[in-house]
Amino acid sequence: MPRRRAGGAISEERLHRWARRSLYAGRTGLLPLGDDTAAVALPGDAVALLTTDALTEGTHFLDRSPARAIGKAAAAASLSDLAAKGGHPIALLVDLLLPPGTPERWARDVIRGAEREMARFGAHVVGGDTKPARSRAVVGTALGLSRRGRLAPRTAARPGDLLVVTGAVGRGGLAALGLGRAPTSATLRRLLDIRPRVREGPVLAEFVHAMLDTSDGLAQAARLLAEASRVRIEVRADDLPIHPELARRLPSLAARRRHAFYGGDYELLAALPPGRLRPARRALSVLGCPLTPVGEVHRGTGAWLSLGEGRSRPMPPPGWRPFERRA
């Protein structure tokens, strides 16, 4: 019988499920294919972490976006992935896809931005590639190191775990408030202002069962964790540490929650045993990072938003859906 071909528009989640079934690494890797990074075993208990992320013009940045901010964001997005697996960054490759006629200064500034972000954490840009293309894109591919015992795969959340998040929820939604027909320079910079939890990730990984970053928003991260671990995730709406500026600008509770789940926060969402909450909080407080319990892991399926008084509903979709056509 011939194999069925995939039909319809691309779905990132469906493509990941197909890859896990079809590729050798999907059945044998140290981390499930589709996790924040790939993992390759090294001698002893060392693990090499590999991750790649692409920023494309018109989707992640605009023509007027500062080139150095684009380079910084390309590096930071991959750094966030490494942090979610308890990794320490080692190096970054930067690929530039550029239309003919692109000013060389633009390309140099992208690389300078990426190098400056990597150097903040003791790593560097070590190479890359350039190719002609119809529109601009910047691809960052990062290498990091971790250990087998602290990879915190998103398949490992267990019933009874607490769900915790670093920092605040909704920073990406706050940036999106400035989007419009003519976004300001400040908005363009804010949209690219990714702040990866590079120092916090390896510390938190010592205490948790599962962890992932919230680059696509906390709601989407909760869904991915529930699916990968085959558990029911319940997030308490009243306990979310909403970004204070987002709370000030949006007095409506419904609007606040909608923007809180937009995506682009780049915090860490983790599942850990209740007895490890206090020591994990103490360890992160040394770095000036709050850790807030926002829910629990139960037997069952799906990600749910608890509204109190026994009411709950499925997690809302993220505001950031790159493959969805918009009218």
**Which of 76-85, 235-244, 270-279, 288-297 shows the lowest mean pLDDT across its residues?**
235-244
| Within-domain flag for 327 | no
7 in a structural domain: no
Give residue 323's pLDDT band: very low, low, confident or very high (50, 70, 90): very low
Distance CA 238, CA 235 (A): 9
Q: Are residues 116 and 212 in the same domain?
A: no
Q: For position 48, what pLDDT does the model report?
A: 97
Rounded CA separation 182/277 (Å): 44
Chain-centre distance of CA 156, in angstroms?
A: 18
**Cα–Cα distance for residue pair 187/122, rounded to 1 Å:** 29
User: What contacts 18, CB < 8 A, 6 or more positions away?
Assistant: 6
Last residue of a domain, one of 148, 181, 215: 148
Q: Is the pLDDT of residue 87 over 70?
A: yes
Q: Are residues 160 and 288 in the same domain?
A: yes
- Judge if 246 and 304 occupy the same domain: yes
Residue 290: Cβ within 10 Å count: 13
| Residue 174 pLDDT > 90 | no
Q: Based on the domain organization, do 160 and 235 belong to the same domain? A: yes
Q: What is the DSSP letter of 87?
A: -
Q: What is the pLDDT of residue 2?
A: 47
Note whether 215 and 271 are same-domain residues. yes
* Pair (278, 218) in one structural domain: yes
Is 72 within the bounds of a domain? yes
Contact yes or no for 165/269 (Cβ under 8 A) = yes
Instruction: Give tens-digit pLDDT for 225-273.
Output: 999 999 999 999 999 999 988 888 888 887 888 788 888 899 999 999 9
CATH number of residue 275's parent domain: 3.90.650.10
Strands 162-166 and 291-298: antiparallel
Does one domain contain both 75 and 198?
no
Q: Is residue 119 part of a domain?
A: yes
The half-sphere exposure of 188 on its side-chain side, counting CA atoms within 13 A, is: 17
Picking from 133, 148, 163, the residue at the C-terminal end of a domain is 148
Cα 204 from Cα 199, distance rounded (Å): 9
Distances in Å between the Cα of 31 and the Cα atoms of 75, 215, 226, 277 are: 22, 19, 16, 24
Domain boundary among 121, 148, 175: 148
Query: In what side-by-side order are the strands of the sheet with 268-272?
Result: 210-213, 268-272, 162-166, 291-298, 232-236, 303-308, 311-314
Per-residue pLDDT, averaged over 78-84, amounts to 98
Any domain includes 224: yes
135 and 70 belong to one structural domain: yes
Number of domains the chain contains? 2
Residue 222 lies in a domain: yes
DSSP 8-state secondary structure symbol assigned to residue 234: E
**Residue 52 belongs to domain spanning:** 32-148
322 falls within a domain: no
Least confident of 13-22, 105-114, 176-185, 196-205: 176-185
**Domain assignment of residue 24, yes or no:** no
The answer on 285 and 170 residing in a single domain is yes
Q: Are residues 170 and 301 in the same domain?
A: yes
Q: Residue 120 above 80 pLDDT?
A: yes
**What is the DSSP annotation of 111-129?**
HHHHHHHHHTTT-EEEEEE
Q: Are residues 157 and 136 in the same domain?
A: no
Handedness of CA 281, 282, 285, 287 (dihedral sign): negative
pTM of the predicted structure, to 2 decimals: 0.89
Do residue 89 and residue 186 come from a single domain?
A: no
